Amino acid sequence: MFSGIIKGVGRVLEQAHLGDDRRLTIGFADVLLSEVRPGDSISVNGVCLTAVACDAERFSADVSLETLSKTTLGDLQVGDGVNLENALRMGGSLDGHLVTGHVDGVGRVESLVESARSVVLRIRTEEALAPYIARKGAVTVDGVSLTVNDVGNTNFQVNIIPHTREITVIAGYRPGTTVNIEVDIIARYVERLARCGYEAAEINLELLKSHGYTSQE
């Protein structure tokens, strides 16, 4: 589990093709990651990968055919930058929102518009993801926790502050850039409740508490 607060940008150093899978080696010498050990989960552009080998400046992770085909990791080339984040630790701060690292789909940057010191980013998504993205809700773009400012049928808009642009791969976005999208985990569970036969009017605070989704009294 992650928070969507990126620690910095690493670089793809090597790619090894292992049958239909791939092993990525990523350098993180300039990224403030905590110590990386074999078996650790690391978010790479929003995709949860497991470190299989590492040292103080790099780690390697295997990427399955499924992940290569369903995310932008299949398009990575040696030298490309990637957003990196360690997995959350018990007792640590949660400054973004709960992110699983399980990408729901790939979006495409439609536009970037300067707005004061920030950039307004509009992203087109797959139509199937539209119901899970709500105005003022949370969304993850390439592993970055963002708040949705506006939403359409197949696109949404987020505001990128200067700090976020400086320390993530968003600095290199252009119209047409493809990005990994993960919707808010709560949206998935609300949909599941609805599919189990609950009407919208029945999905209330008491129901969510009874299923362990909130502890609010």
| Contact status, residue 109 vs residue 122, Cβ threshold 8 Å | yes
User: pTM of the predicted model, to two decimals?
Assistant: 0.86
Question: Given 38, 54, 86, which residue is the final one in a domain?
Answer: 86
Does one domain contain both 124 and 177? yes
Q: Looking at the structure, tell me whether residues 147 and 81 fall in a common domain.
A: no
Residue 123, in any domain of the structure: yes
Do 150 and 80 share a structural domain? Answer: no
Q: Which residue segment(s) compose the domain that 79 sits in?
A: 8-86
Domain count across the chain: 2
Residue among 207, 186, 8, 217 at smallest CA distance from 97? 186
Q: Domain with 140 in it: what CATH number?
A: 2.40.30.20
For residue 52, list its beta bridge partners.
none
Residues 73 and 118 in one domain: no
In a domain, 94, yes or no: no
User: Minimal CA–CA distance to 13: which of 34, 1, 29?
Assistant: 29
Residue 146, domain member (yes or no): yes
pLDDT tens digits in sequence order for the chain, 217 residues long: 999 999 999 999 999 999 889 999 999 998 989 889 999 999 999 999 999 999 999 999 999 999 999 999 999 999 999 999 999 887 777 788 889 999 999 999 999 999 999 999 999 998 888 888 989 999 999 999 999 999 988 999 999 999 999 999 999 999 999 999 999 887 776 766 666 765 554 555 565 566 555 545 4
